[in-house]
Structure 1
Amino acid sequence: MNEIIAYFSTIPSSHRSLILVSGITIFWLIENAFPLFQFSYKKWNHAGINLFFTLTTIVINFVLAFILLKTANWATQNHFGILQWLPEMNIGLYAIVGLLLLDLIGAYLVHWIEHKVPVLWRFHLIHHTDTWIDTTSANRHHPGESIIRFAFTTLGVLVVGSPMWLVFLYQTLSIVFTQFNHANMSLPKKLDTLLSYIVVSPDMHKVHHHYVLPYTDSNYGNIFSVWDRLFGTFMTLSKKDIVYGIDTHPKPEEHNSISNLLRVPFQPKRKP
């Protein structure tokens, strides 16, 4: 565990980039070999759009990273936050508790709020306009949403009182898991169901991308599935009934154009 702490305390940006690229590559190959859905689409064109938004997310997080660092350092130096107030515990348990709490505030909570607050939903719905969910869809976030999510991540670091090595560990796991649960790959049903009791599995997350309520407002989790089960937002839906996208933006020129997707949050509100 000490080796893990040492590594993530000083993990180079190049290593984090390599993990992101490696994850997309691995899950891209798997979903090509064992697809959940046989899409009829231009996969590289679709990937280009989603990777554009992935790049904007990376740039925003890189530019604002100093805020996370200062927040984590302040919290640990001033013994502020949940982890700082808990009794001393085994470092492995400490890491698990910290990851769970960061996932709750920095992923589940912000995701739930984005679905409930109209002005935030305007930015988040870009993610839901994707009608061909695959591993490249993982970071299809409007730059405005990337800033919103960064703000909640910072809040999570402060409330949790997380040291920076734990933040880097969480972000690394988050990248891999979001690529995993968005991937268009078919796992054996029993395996997927078993995984969904612990983490957000591909079948579990695909329900969230169904185009109509109440399924769109379910399965908000990123890494751990416990929060959806605990707060009653866990839902299941048969693969044959899932239709990706969002009913307010069904046309390809609306959901398959970078320029239009960038404008969506500022366009008049639409009804289904």
Structure 2
Amino acid sequence: MNEIISYFSTIPSSHRSLILVGGITLFWVIENTFPLFQMQYRKWHHAGINIFFTITTIIVNFILAFILIKTASWTTENNFGILQWLPEIPVWLYTIIGLLLLDLIGAYLVHFVEHKVKFLWRFHIIHHTDTWIDTTTANRHHPGESVIRFIFTTLGVLIVGSPMWMVFLYQSLSVIFSQFNHANISLPNKLDVLLSYFIVSPNMHKVHHHYVLPYTDSNYGNIFSVWDRIFGTFTSLPKDQLIYGVDTHMLPEENNKLKNLLQIPFQKSRSAKNTKNQ
């Protein structure tokens, strides 16, 4: 454990980039070998759009990174936050508690709020417009949403009182898990169900990308599935019933054109359907 802490305390930017690129490459290969769905689409064109949004996410986080670093330093220097107030406990338990809480605020909570606040949904909907969910979808976030998620991550660091090494560890795990649960990979059903009791499995997250409510408003987690189960937002749907996308933007010119995707937050909002029969 001390080796992990030491590594993430000084992890070079090049290593963090390698984790991102390596994850996409690994799951890209796996999903081409063991696909969940045989999707007929221009994979490289689709990847190009999603990689554009990945790059904008990286740029936003790079520009704002000093805020995150300052926040983490302040919490440890001033003994502020949940982790700082805990009695002395084993470092592995300290780490698990910290990761769980960071995932709650930096992933589950912001995701939940984005679905419930109309202004924030305008930015998040770009992620849901993807009708071909694969590993590149993981970072398909409008630049505006990247800022929103950064704010919640920073808030999480402040409330949790996370040291910077834990923030880097959390962000690295978050990237890998997001690529994993978006990947178009086929796991044995029993294995996927078993995993979903502990982490967000591919089939569990795919339900979130079904094109109509109430499924769109479920399974908000990224790393740990416990929060969806605790807060009653966990649901399931047979994979043969899945239809990807969001019912308000199902036309290719709306969901597969970069220019339109960037403009969606500023267009007139549309009402989604709410049905369990589609």
TM-score of the two chains, using structure 1 as the length reference: 0.99
Question: What runs of 5+ residues in structure 1 fail to find an aligned partner?
Answer: none
Q: Give, in whole Å, the separation in 2 of the partners of 1:241 and 1:86.
A: 46
Partner SS state of residue 105, structure 1: helix
Q: Give, in whole Å, the separation in 1 of the partners of 2:101 and 2:88.
A: 17
Partner SS state of residue 197, structure 2: coil
Q: CA deviation at 1:148?
A: 0.1
For 2:276, the equivalent position in structure 1 comes to none
CA-atom RMSD in angstroms: 0.5
Q: CA deviation at 1:98?
A: 0.2
Identity %: 76
Q: CA deviation at 1:126?
A: 0.1
Partner SS state of residue 25, structure 1: helix
**Post-superposition CA distance 1:25-74 (Å, at most 9, x none):** 00000000010011000000000000000000001001110000000000
Q: Give, in whole Å, the separation in 1 of the partners of 2:231 and 2:77.
A: 33
For 1:181, the equivalent position in structure 2 comes to 181
**Post-superposition CA distance 1:112-167 (Å, at most 9, x none):** 00000000000000000000000000000000000000000000000000000000
1:237 aligns with 2:223: no
For 1:95, the equivalent position in structure 2 comes to 95
For 1:66, the equivalent position in structure 2 comes to 66
User: 2:87 corresponds to which letter in structure 1?
Assistant: P
Moved over 6 A (4+): none
Q: Give, in whole Å, the separation in 2 of the partners of 1:175 and 1:79.
A: 28
User: 2:242 corresponds to which letter in structure 1?
Assistant: I
For 1:129, the equivalent position in structure 2 comes to 129
Q: Give, in whole Å, the separation in 2 of the partners of 1:80 and 1:159.
A: 8
TM-score of the two chains, using structure 2 as the length reference: 0.97
For 1:13, the equivalent position in structure 2 comes to 13
1:139 aligns with 2:131: no
For 1:37, the equivalent position in structure 2 comes to 37
For 1:172, the equivalent position in structure 2 comes to 172
Q: CA deviation at 1:271?
A: 3.0
Question: What runs of 5+ residues in structure 2 fail to find an aligned partner?
Answer: 273-278
Q: CA deviation at 1:270?
A: 1.6
Q: Give, in whole Å, the separation in 2 of the partners of 1:114 and 1:173.
A: 22
Partner SS state of residue 247, structure 2: coil
Number of equivalenced pairs: 272
For 1:220, the equivalent position in structure 2 comes to 220
Partner SS state of residue 32, structure 1: helix
Q: Give, in whole Å, the separation in 1 of the partners of 2:57 and 2:130.
A: 17
For 1:257, the equivalent position in structure 2 comes to 257
User: 2:257 corresponds to which letter in structure 1?
Assistant: S
Partner SS state of residue 104, structure 1: helix
Q: Give, in whole Å, the separation in 2 of the partners of 1:134 and 1:27.
A: 9
